């Protein structure tokens, strides 16, 4: 997760090239591959719990920097899709890749932030917001548990982005459900992931908190270079936040149109471990 360049930066004329235009015009050999590597790719994936098929021949590609909303009724397989994406469940058939690497061999988990589906506010945890966010770096801190300057800056940055910086010393048990959810998303962002996966981020929060959360996620989408996959059982809840909406229906994944408010009904049907501790987990 890096800040996106501003429009001005991306629109610099050729004359502003700091190399003075002397750079080799041939792009580096790795550039085309990097451009085409998806953050997340499902290729004809089938998954079943015991004998109940939950994912049927699912193909999905989430490009780097892209935001995809996954909608669908309760029980349609959305959470299962995410657990398969993160290597927490193994498909019977097909392949899943994270940044071009089969999820079974993927080890770069700081690049993936995950906020699991929650039943409601977790009022039992007696720690501060800042401690919750720090804990996202648990595997990366030094021997005495000290954060580097850069890590402290990142903690501050993600708390600002998620609107919880003012609550940093407050115990999470005193927060509303929406504030807790934003703290957990900040925790998932603290490793500066290139892919953020949110399972029903608004399910346990009230309407006002949902609005604030949407604003924070909209900010992320426009200002940070992070691909996002949101899950929602509410087709209207998140569609406006996504570049693309896909819908789970009885195990099949269908294209449900462009995001940004255009949620045309499904039509062009697309066929549809814990390595090194697993993804940054904010549960
Ligand atoms: N651990 C499990 N064992 C057996 N069946 C499960 C398990 N988890 C989910 N299921 C079933 O798989 C289906 C899809 O569940 P899930 O992926 O949680 O759906 P969603 O997130 O869309 O509500 C449901 O029928 C659910 O009952
Ligand atoms: Mg679910």
Angle at 124 between CA 118 and CA 127, to 5 degrees: 100
216 lines ligand 1 (CB under 6 A): no
Report the distance separating Cα 110 and Cα 140, nearest Å.
9
Nearest ligand, CA 117: 2
Residue 84: closest CA among 199, 218, 256, 246: 199
Q: How many alpha carbons lie under 13 Å from residue 195 in its C-beta half-sphere?
A: 24
Q: How many alpha carbons lie under 13 Å from residue 146 in its C-beta half-sphere?
A: 4
Residue nearest to atom 25 of ligand 1 (CA): 75
Report the distance separating Cα 149 and Cα 140, nearest Å.
13
Report the distance separating Cα 189 and Cα 236, nearest Å.
25
pLDDT at residue number 214: 86
pTM assigned to the model: 0.81
203 lines ligand 1 (CB under 6 A): no
Residue in 51, 56, 70, 80 to alter for ligand 1 test, most ligand atoms within 8 A of Cβ: 80
In this structure, are residues 57 and 271 in contact, taking their beta carbons and an 8 Å threshold?
Answer: yes
Residue nearest to atom 20 of ligand 1 (CA): 75
Q: How confident is the model at residue 28 (pLDDT cuts 50, 70, 90)?
A: very low
- Chain centre distance of CA 221: 10
pLDDT at residue number 267: 33
88 Cα to the center of ligand 1, angstroms: 14
pLDDT at residue number 144: 73
116 lines ligand 1 (CB under 6 A): no
Q: How confident is the model at residue 54 (pLDDT cuts 50, 70, 90)?
A: very high
196-243 tens-digit pLDDT: 999 998 877 788 888 888 888 888 888 888 999 999 877 666 657 889
Q: How confident is the model at residue 57 (pLDDT cuts 50, 70, 90)?
A: very high
Atom of ligand 1 nearest to the CA of 76: 22
Strand 101-102 to strand 112-115: parallel, antiparallel, or no bridges (unpaired)? Answer: unpaired
234 lines ligand 1 (CB under 6 A): no
pLDDT at residue number 6: 54
144-173 burial: b if 16+ Cβ within 10 Å, else e = eeebeeebeebbebbbebbbbbebbeeebe
């Amino acid at each position: 997760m890096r800040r996106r360049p501003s429009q001005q930066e991306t629109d610099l004329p050729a004359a502003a090239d700091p190399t003075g235009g002397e750079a080799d015009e041939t792009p580096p050999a790795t550039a085309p591959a990097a451009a085409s590597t998806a953050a997340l790719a499902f290729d004809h994936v089938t998954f079943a719990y015991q004998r109940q098929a939950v994912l049927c021949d699912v193909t999905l590609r989430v490009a780097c920097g892209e935001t995809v909303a996954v909608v669908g009724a309760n029980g349609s397989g959305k959470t299962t899709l995410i657990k398969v994406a993160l290597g927490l469940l193994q498909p019977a058939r097909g392949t899943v890749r994270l940044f071009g690497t089969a999820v079974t061999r993927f080890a770069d988990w700081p690049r993936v932030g995950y906020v699991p589906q929650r039943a409601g506010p977790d009022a039992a945890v007696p720690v501060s917001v800042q401690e919750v966010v720090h804990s996202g770096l648990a595997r990366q801190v030094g021997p005495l548990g000290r954060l580097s300057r850069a890590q402290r800056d990142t903690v501050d940055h993600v708390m600002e982005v998620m609107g919880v910086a003012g609550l940093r010393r407050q115990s999470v048990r005193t927060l509303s459900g929406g504030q807790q959810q934003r703290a957990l998303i900040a925790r998932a962002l603290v490793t500066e992931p290139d892919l953020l996966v949110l399972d029903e981020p608004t399910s346990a929060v009230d309407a006002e908190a949902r609005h604030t959360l949407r604003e924070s996620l909209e900010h992320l989408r426009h200002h940070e270079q992070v691909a996002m996959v949101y899950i929602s059982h509410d087709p209207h809840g998140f569609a406006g936040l996504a570049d693309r909406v896909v819908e789970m229906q009885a195990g099949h994944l269908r294209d449900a149109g462009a995001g940004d408010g255009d949620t045309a009904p499904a039509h062009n049907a697309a066929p549809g471990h814990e390595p090194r501790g697993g993804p940054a987990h904010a549960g």
